[in-house]
A and B are shown apart, each in its own frame.
Chain A
Amino acid sequence: DTEVTQTPKHLVMGMTNKKSLKCEQHMGHRAMYWYKQKAKKPPELMFVYSYEKLSINESVPSRFSPECPNSSLLNLHLHALQPEDSALYLCASSLLAGGYEQYFGPGTRLTVT
């Protein structure tokens, strides 16, 4: 199984809502990533988890809270988002952090109203 799954595919939320994005992989990868991508721009790294521990946080606002409950799952908890946070959120995984290709999920299209 070489697939990374993400749920939901689409999410519309108000600025006072709390929601979560979920990501799952069963490839035995020990590194997982969250990226944010705006239209016609490259993905921007948000967080890296290595062996279920947060190893990189790219100065992301605290309204985004990542969680890695186990080696297969990665969550991104969202709270009090702003309209400018509307974007495609991509999850990826790789065998280890650094030096390996990354496998991406299809993304969650987030709209903040």
Chain B
Amino acid sequence: SQQGEEDPQALSIQEGENATMNCSYKTSINNLQWYRQNSGRGLVHLILIRSNEREKHSGRLRVTLDTSKKSSSLLITASRAADTASYFCATDPGANSKLTFGKGITLSVRP
């Protein structure tokens, strides 16, 4: 079963708006990762946040992690039509363990 559960399952916004996606998980983690997947393509790694970090930025992306609530959020600022994709959170327990993906969020950015 999936470790991470994203919320909402689908999100539609206007270009220029911010998009916020949430992920909740159940067990302890070494790190949490966010990936993007364009339709029918491979996944692209966006950002990795370790369990001892609370916030991380990469360009227009901001990720937060609250280990006490077992939740993470991904904020995409000033969205573009090219951000239209599926976004997955994935939890990593650490060495020699597997990455477990959530069900994913479908983001549509209208031009």
**Chain A interface residues (CB < 8 Å from chain B):** 4, 6, 40-43, 45, 48, 50, 55-56, 58, 88, 90, 92, 96-107, 109
**Chain B neighbourhood of A109, CB < 8 A:** 40
Contact B40 A88 (CB under 8 A): yes
Partner of A98, one of B40, B41, B43, B95: B95
A and B contact pairs by CB, cutoff 8 A, 28 listed: A6-B42, A41-B104, A42-B102, A42-B103, A42-B104, A43-B88, A45-B99, A48-B98, A50-B96, A55-B96, A56-B98, A58-B98, A88-B40, A90-B43, A92-B43, A96-B95, A97-B95, A98-B30, A98-B92, A98-B94, A98-B96, A99-B31, A102-B99, A103-B45, A104-B35, A106-B42, A107-B40, A107-B41
1/0 contact string of B29-61 vs chain A (CB within 8 Å): 011010100001111110010000000000000
**Chain B neighbourhood of A40, CB < 8 A:** 104
Q: What bracket does the count of chain B residues touching chain A fall in?
A: 20 to 34
B residues 44-96 with Cβ under 8 Å of A? 44-45, 48, 88, 92-96
Contact A99 B30 (CB under 8 A): yes
Partner of A106, one of B41, B92, B95, B103: B41
Contacts A43-B101, A96-B95, A107-B41; is A101 near B2 (CB within 8 Å)?
no
Contact A98 B97 (CB under 8 A): yes
Other than the known A45-B98, A97-B95, A105-B42, what 18 A-B pairs have Cβ atoms closer than 8 Å?
A: A40-B104, A42-B2, A42-B104, A43-B88, A48-B98, A50-B96, A92-B43, A98-B92, A98-B93, A98-B95, A98-B96, A99-B31, A99-B94, A102-B43, A102-B99, A104-B42, A106-B41, A106-B42
**Chain A neighbourhood of B48, CB < 8 A:** 100-101
